[in-house]
Amino acid sequence: QKEKAKNEHFAIGAFNVCNIETLKAVTQAAVKLQTPVILEASDREINYFGIKELSAVVNVLREDLNIPLILNLDHGKDFEMCKRAVEAGFDYIHFDGSALPLEENIKITQEVVKLAHKHGLPVEGEMDHIQGSSEDHTKEDPTKYQLAGKYTDPEAAYGFVKKTGIDVFAAFIGNLHGTFATSEKLDFDVFRKLTTILPNTYFSLHGGSGISADQIKKAVEMGIVKVNVNTDMRIVFKNVLQKTLNESNEIAFYKLARPAISAVQGV
């Protein structure tokens, strides 16, 4: 799918699913649009859902829905978590060692690549920590978060990719986790240099929530094949569920959850 995305200039949406409700919302939206979709979960989201449970439910959905579903470990924090995801049947492994010293990040990424490639799975690596957090930052200016980080240096990224053997590179070009008062402004000059120096590497765009549609489109045209989205779904899920609970005397959760599911589907 990532090769097709690159050649045909589209990206696959990667949406965080931490419960059955968001999983329903994302897969139903993908069925409506007849598009492949990446279902992703971070360590904590996986621990909430259950790693075997998540994988099993996705397998059931795969049989029922006629679209490609790709199950992605999102920001796996250590080798052990990546190994658990491989063993549980995930399709795509993102190891995020960006909080570690570079040499340690490279060493663990190499180990993850060795293991995942043995199972035919692609690996995404992260060198420069993508700033922010998947929370509601709508009262905050994105600039201070962008300045707190180190934008990806193309030469250093080249070294990282060559040493680790990763398939997909999670670049930091101003994209932030979370939704802010204004759209994050992406640095397309840095991104152009990255795609030039690494023509055979795939690139993801984390922090998709809150980035303007025109910038996402431009990034995709320039070579992004995966756009990660979490916060915008979290915000509407919470707000719509809260409103429903406040306004209803209903006690059946499957009825109370429906409006929140369709709001997440909208995102």
Shortest Å, Cβ 230 to ligand G3H: 4
Partner that binds at residue 134, options Ca ion, ligand G3H, none, CB closer than 5 to 8 Å by kind? ligand G3H
Indicate the Cα dihedral angle 210, 213, 218, 220, nearest 10°.
80
Known catalytic residue at 64: no
What gap in Å lies between CA 1 and CA 70, rounded to an integer? 9
How far, in Å, CA of 237 to CA of 232, rounded? 9
229 binds, among ligand G3H, Ca ion, none (CB under 5 to 8 A by kind): ligand G3H
Q: If binding is defined by CB under 6 A, does position 229 make contact with ligand G3H?
A: yes
Answer for the pair 261, 24: CB distance below 8 angstroms, yes or no. yes
Specify the residue, 125 or 208, whose C-beta has the smaller distance to ligand G3H.
208
Confirm or reject binding of residue 231 to ligand G3H (CB under 6 A).
Answer: yes
Q: Does 209 bind Ca ion (CB under 5 A)?
A: yes
Q: Does 13 bind Ca ion (CB under 5 A)?
A: no
CB of 207 to ligand G3H, least distance (A): 4
Contact positions with Ca ion (CB under 5 A) in 130-189: 176
Q: Which of 74, 91, 96, 128 is catalytic?
A: 74
Nearest to 177 by CA among 133, 147, 129, 142: 133
By the rule CB under 6 A, 208 interacts with ligand G3H? yes
Only one of the segments 38-46, 200-208, 218-226, 247-255 lies at the binding site for Ca ion (rule: CB under 5 A); that segment is: 200-208
Q: Decide if residue 74 touches ligand G3H (CB under 6 A).
A: yes
Question: What is the helix, strand, coil percentage profile of the chain, to 5?
Answer: 50, 20, 30
**Range 131-165 burial, b when 16+ CB lie within 10 A, else e:** bbebebbeebebeebbeebeebbbeebbebbebbe
105 binds, among Ca ion, ligand G3H, none (CB under 5 to 8 A by kind): none
Q: Name which position in 125, 154, 178, 223 contacts ligand G3H (CB under 6 A).
A: 178
Distance CA 246, CA 107 (A): 51
**According to CB under 5 A, which one of 113, 207, 216, 241 is a site residue for Ca ion?**
207
The answer to the question of residue 184 lying near ligand G3H (CB under 6 A) is no
Nearer to Ca ion, 76 or 210 (CB): 210
Out of 230, 260, 263, 265, name the contact with ligand G3H by CB under 6 A.
Answer: 230
> From its phi and psi, is residue 167 left (phi > 0), alpha (psi between -120 and 50) or beta?
alpha
Distance CA 10, CA 217 (A): 9
DSSP 63-97: HHSSS-EEEEEEEE-SHHHHHHHHHHT-SEEEEE-
Return the residue matching tokens 């979490």.
Answer: 230
CA dihedral 125, 129, 131, 135 (to 10 degrees): 50
Interaction site with Ca ion (CB under 5 A): 176, 207, 209-210
Catalytic residue ranges? 74
Interaction site with ligand G3H (CB under 6 A): 16, 74-75, 134, 177-178, 206-210, 228-231
